[in-house]
């Protein structure tokens, strides 16, 4: 009785949900509008454009860079706009979905911030003050905001506020957070594998990179495997757990091994970028083992989460 009474004694967080909803909705709309604007960069680098150079094409670094940014803008919009709407409407599912995305961000956020910063620094000609400001806010987005928001969404006040505003139960609330986090990570990796198609189809195979049609076929198979694993994970089928542990283990080991054994010049050579891009990229002081750390850590963490999540799968489930 006392427990039930204490559960009804909570502070209403409706105003905070509205503020967060407005920020998410505006941010999603803004980034969604950046997508078409970024497409104009293709004209700038193509023949007759302001920044044209020989070799700009599908498969060049700048082409893949621009395409990746466009995908990123639309992906952010796809997440933020529904989340913003859900916050404004006080839907119960926003709490579960927000926690899922925040935990997933803690897995992939750090290396992604490094990549985003170098993309911005390399393609936007940022001045030093602007670069430092960008790095500061990128750091806040990983080291400060996620922890505060996770604490907010996990709190009793937030849970009871949403339950009082929305009495409907949603399917996403019935799934354990670890499985939702894994599924969101799998979807993210599927997108990243698609992006590798823009970079000569590079794919790590236990110490060597495969490029061209060989790499594309391997990427295709991996995307199909991850799609099946994602579907099975959301259905809590035990075969999906075995599939995730095996695929992630092999892919993580293969990725770390391949990058650590590959020199940076060898990687650039396999990507077959235009001479001007090779000249620019060759000046970046990185080695293959840097990439093995950058890419390997989130993959390894995902693999560990997958291993520890077995108790959430239901034995004996069928297709």
Sequential pLDDT tens for the chain (319 residues): 344 445 567 788 889 999 999 999 999 999 999 989 988 888 888 887 888 888 888 888 888 988 988 999 999 999 999 999 999 999 999 999 999 999 999 888 877 777 666 666 555 565 667 667 767 777 777 778 888 999 999 988 889 989 888 888 889 989 999 999 999 999 999 999 999 999 999 999 998 999 999 999 999 999 999 999 999 999 999 999 999 999 999 999 999 999 999 888 888 888 888 888 888 888 777 788 888 888 899 999 999 999 999 999 987 655 4
Q: How far apart are CA 95 and CA 109, in angstroms?
A: 20
CB 53 within 8 A of CB 276: yes
pLDDT at 279: 84
Contacts of 47 (CB under 8 A, 6+ apart): none
H helical segments located in the chain: 2-8, 14-45, 61-88, 93-123, 128-143, 145-154, 156-165, 177-196, 212-234, 238-261, 264-271, 275-281, 288-308
The whole-model pTM stands at 0.87
Q: How far apart are CA 73 and CA 71, in angstroms?
A: 6
Taking Cα atoms as reference points, which of 91, 93, 96 lies closest to residue 14? 91
Contacts of 13 (CB under 8 A, 6+ apart): 152, 157, 158, 161
pLDDT at 113: 76
pLDDT at 124: 55
At residue 84, φ and ψ (nearest 5 deg) are: -60, -45
pLDDT at 136: 76
pLDDT at 118: 66
Taking Cα atoms as reference points, which of 224, 250, 222 lies closest to residue 306? 250
The DSSP letter of residue 51 is T
pLDDT at 1: 38
Taking Cα atoms as reference points, which of 100, 254, 246 lies closest to residue 180? 100
Containing H/E element for 210? strand 208-210
């Amino acid at each position: 009785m006392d427990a039930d009474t204490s559960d009804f004694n909570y502070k209403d967080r409706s105003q905070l949900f509205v503020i967060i909803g407005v920020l998410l909705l505006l941010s999603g709309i803004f980034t969604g509008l950046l997508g078409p604007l970024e497409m104009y960069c293709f004209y700038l680098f193509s023949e007759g454009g302001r920044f044209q150079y020989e070799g700009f094409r599908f498969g060049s670094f700048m082409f893949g860079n621009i395409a990746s940014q466009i995908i990123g803008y639309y992906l952010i919009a796809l997440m933020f706009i529904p989340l913003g709407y859900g916050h404004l409407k006080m839907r119960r599912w926003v709490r579960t979905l927000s926690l899922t995305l925040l935990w997933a961000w803690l897995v992939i956020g750090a290396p992604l911030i490094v990549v985003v910063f170098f993309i911005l620094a390399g393609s936007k000609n940022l001045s030093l003050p602007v670069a430092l400001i960008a790095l500061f806010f990128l750091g806040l987005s990983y080291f400060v905001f996620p922890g505060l928001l996770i604490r907010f969404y996990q709190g009793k006040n937030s849970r009871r506020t949403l339950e009082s505003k929305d009495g409907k139960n949603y399917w996403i609330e019935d799934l354990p957070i670890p499985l939702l986090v894994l599924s969101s990570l799998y979807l993210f990796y599927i997108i990243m594998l698609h992006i590798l198609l823009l970079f000569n189809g590079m794919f790590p195979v236990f110490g060597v990179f495969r490029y061209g049609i060989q790499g594309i076929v391997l990427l295709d198979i991996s995307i199909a495997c991850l799609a099946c694993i994602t579907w099975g994970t959301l259905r809590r089928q035990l075969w999906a757990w075995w599939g995730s542990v095996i695929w992630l283990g092999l892919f993580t080991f293969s990725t770390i091994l391949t990058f650590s054994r590959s020199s940076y010049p060898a990687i650039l050579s396999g990507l077959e970028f235009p001479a001007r891009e090779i000249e620019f990229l060759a000046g970046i002081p990185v080695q293959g083992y840097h990439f093995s750390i950058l890419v390997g850590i989130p993959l390894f963490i995902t693999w560990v989460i997958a291993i520890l999540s077995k108790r959430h799968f239901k034995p004996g489930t069928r297709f």
